[in-house]
């Protein structure tokens, strides 16, 4: 799109030399042909160093926009970003793409559907009622059980197993809200990348990113009924037990173990080799590796055990 067209959609009054915009991205990752946004003053440093061609910004933060970047000044930048995201959303299916490529030795059920532009590696097994979306990629030796849905643009590595009824790449739970309490969908224009040797149980949801990728790294094990939010990063060989989950943009280091019904708030960073007992509620960053935690509010497991003993004594 032309930047002038974007300005018109967002009802911005600006004077600038018109440029072509080919996508949207986060401040840190945006390029000169992309538009980004900022809605919070805590991202001032990212504004000042962004390489974006244009930034959607409230009037209170416009002074931090670099000279080389065009400021699109709006009243509610998060709402405006949501409006614009629709214009850069790819089509759900694209008939203009070439037929799917199927690798040697792969067995695809006649009841499965592989969309145009998809690529299936060698020696894969794709069972009945699986849907693999356009331009999705599945590596070698991967097994996908019935009723799994792999949305467009998502990548699944080699030697993976994905069990029934799991959804890879559904939209993350993202929307903007205005002063009247109305909600505007933020189109999730990123994807999901699952690296090699990952096993995912049944009825799991791994949401696609707003921009960039939701990342499940090598060797991860995910049990049934787990939710991974948009833009999360799950470190190598981490384990999620049933009914646990993470809100968006949280990053786990390698070998993190998450007990059943535990949950992470969004935008956290979790140190490697952390362990969380069942029903842990994690709302703050974990910076020290190798510790075990329990409860909500979260505390170290040894302290939690002592607390339970004291509570039990009070009840006698």
DSSP one-letter code for 302: H
Closest listed residue to residue 82, CA positions, set 175, 217, 199 = 175
End-to-end CA distance of the chain: 70
The CA angle 302-304-308, to the nearest 5 degrees, is 120
Q: Is 73 left (phi over 0), alpha (psi -120 to 50) or beta?
A: beta
Positions annotated as catalytic residues are 230
Q: Is 182 strand, coil or helix? A: coil
CA 188 to chain centre: 9
* Contact (CB, 8 A) for 106 and 127: no
Quickly count helices (H) and strands (E) in the chain.
4, 35
Query: Do strands 167-170 and 161-162 pair parallel, antiparallel, or not at all (unpaired)?
Result: unpaired
The CA angle 199-205-208, to the nearest 5 degrees, is 100
**Residue 316 CB partners (closer than 8 Å, separation 6+):** none
Please give the radius of gyration of the chain, using alpha carbons only, rounded to the nearest integer.
22
Element (H, E) at 312: helix 301-314
Query: Do strands 191-194 and 213-216 pair parallel, antiparallel, or not at all (unpaired)?
Result: parallel
Give the Cβ contact number of residue 251 at 10 Å.
17
* Contact (CB, 8 A) for 205 and 222: no
């Amino acid at each position: 799109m032309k930047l002038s067209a974007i300005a018109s959609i967002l009802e911005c009054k600006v004077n600038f030399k018109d440029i072509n915009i080919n996508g949207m991205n986060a401040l840190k990752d945006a390029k000169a042909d992309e538009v980004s946004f900022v809605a919070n003053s805590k991202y001032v440093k990212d504004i000042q160093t962004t390489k974006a061609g244009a930034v959607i910004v409230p009037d209170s933060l416009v002074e931090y926009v670099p000279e080389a970047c065009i400021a699109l000044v709006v009243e509610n930048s998060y709402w405006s970003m949501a409006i614009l995201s629709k214009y850069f959303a790819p089509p759900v299916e694209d008939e203009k793409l070439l037929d799917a490529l199927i690798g040697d030795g792969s067995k695809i059920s006649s009841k499965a559907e592989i969309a145009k532009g998809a690529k299936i590696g060698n020696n894969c097994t794709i069972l009945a009622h699986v849907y693999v979306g356009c331009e999705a990629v599945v590596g070698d030796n991967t097994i996908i059980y019935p009723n799994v849905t792999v949305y467009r643009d998502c990548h699944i590595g080699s030697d993976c197993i994905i069990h029934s009824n799991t959804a890879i790449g559904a939209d993350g739970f993202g929307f903007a809200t205005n002063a009247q309490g109305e909600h505007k969908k933020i189109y999730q224009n990123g994807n999901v990348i699952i690296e090699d040797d990952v096993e995912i149980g049944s009825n799991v949801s791994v949401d696609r990113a707003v921009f960039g990728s939701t990342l499940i790294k090598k060797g991860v094990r995910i049990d049934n009924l787990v939710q991974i939010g948009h833009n999360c990063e799950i470190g190598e060989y981490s384990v999620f037990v049933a009914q646990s989950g993470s809100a968006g943009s949280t990053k786990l280091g390698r070998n993190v173990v998450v007990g059943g019904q535990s949950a992470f708030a969004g935008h956290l960073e979790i140190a490697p080799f952390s362990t969380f007992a069942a029903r842990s509620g994690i709302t703050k960053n974990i910076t020290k590796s190798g510790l075990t935690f329990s409860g909500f509010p979260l505390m170290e497991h040894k302290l939690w055990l002592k607390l339970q003993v004291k509570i039990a004594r009070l009840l006698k």
